[in-house]
């Protein structure tokens, strides 16, 4: 049996899943609006941990790691440098694990206590993570400009969307929570953050899978009994 992955079909399937999760997320607030309870349904809400949206986000990041591994393996087979691809896979895997276990939340508490942050920096994990993003971007600039221009555009868009959600929206979200608690605007910001992160991951998946499709020919997954 031979399994082939088509970039556009992958994006379509993943996008449909995001739309479905968004619908379930909105549905999770129905008990709140009906005054049945004061918190949304945890298994479906974007602002909760260890639930279906978190699992899906972790899956998207893990998928990015898998595709980066394929690119690294192919580069090595072609006699090209593969270090940046392997490191990219490790980075995505690390973010995927972080998404699952919410390690950045533990860091946030420690940094907040150390620096006594509040307002836009109430969720203080953005401080060390922002520094880490700057270091990674600076390190990858030479590698980035060696890639085909089409892939550069999609990778840049994917990274921009993910960082805009993960770090950019987190700042006003933090301010809103610090001053007004979990009001409607805060929940709207949480929704925007998660949608941007998922969209960024899917865009990055498209960039990587398209690169494999265009520049790494004759690669497929074969399952055989021999």
Report whether 196 contacts 165 (CB < 8 A): yes
* Phi, psi dihedral angles at 104 (to 5 degrees): -65, -25
> What's the pLDDT at 1?
43
Give Cβ neighbours of residue 91 (< 8 Å, ≥ 6 apart): 136
d(CA 217, CA 85) in angstroms, rounded, equals: 17
Give pLDDT tens digits for 9-63: 999 999 999 999 999 999 988 887 776 766 778 888 888 888 899 999 999 999 9
Nearest to 140 by CA among 214, 81, 198: 81
> Which stretch of DSSP H or E encloses residue 215?
helix 184-215
> What's the pLDDT at 79?
83
> What's the pLDDT at 80?
85
Residue bearing tokens 């700042």: 171
DSSP symbol at 102: T
* Low-confidence stretches of the chain (pLDDT beneath 50): 1, 223-226
Q: How far is CA 119 from CA 90, 107, 156, in A?
A: 32, 17, 29
> What's the pLDDT at 6?
84
């Amino acid at each position: 049996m031979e399994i082939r992955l088509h970039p556009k079909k992958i994006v379509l399937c993943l996008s449909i899943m995001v739309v479905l999760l968004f619908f379930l997320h909105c549905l999770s607030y129905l008990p709140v609006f009906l005054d049945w309870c004061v918190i949304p349904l945890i298994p479906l809400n974007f602002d909760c941990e260890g639930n279906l949206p978190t699992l899906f986000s972790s899956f998207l990041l893990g998928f990015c790691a898998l595709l980066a591994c394929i690119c690294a393996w192919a580069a090595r087979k072609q006699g090209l440098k593969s270090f940046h691809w392997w490191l990219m896979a490790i980075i995505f895997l690390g973010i995927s694990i972080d998404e699952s276990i919410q390690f950045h939340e533990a860091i946030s508490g420690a940094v907040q206590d150390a620096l006594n942050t509040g307002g836009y920096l109430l969720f203080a994990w953005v401080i060390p993570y922002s520094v880490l993003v700057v270091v990674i971007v600076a390190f990858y600039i030479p590698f980035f400009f060696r890639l085909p221009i089409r892939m550069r555009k999609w990778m840049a868009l994917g990274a921009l969307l993910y960082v805009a959600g993960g770090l950019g929206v987190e700042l006003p979200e933090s301010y809103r929570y610090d001053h007004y608690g979990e009001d409607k605007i805060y929940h709207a910001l949480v929704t925007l953050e998660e949608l941007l992160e998922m969209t960024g991951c899917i865009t990055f998946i498209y960039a990587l899978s398209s690169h494999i499709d265009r520049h790494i020919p004759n690669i497929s997954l074969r399952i055989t009994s021999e």
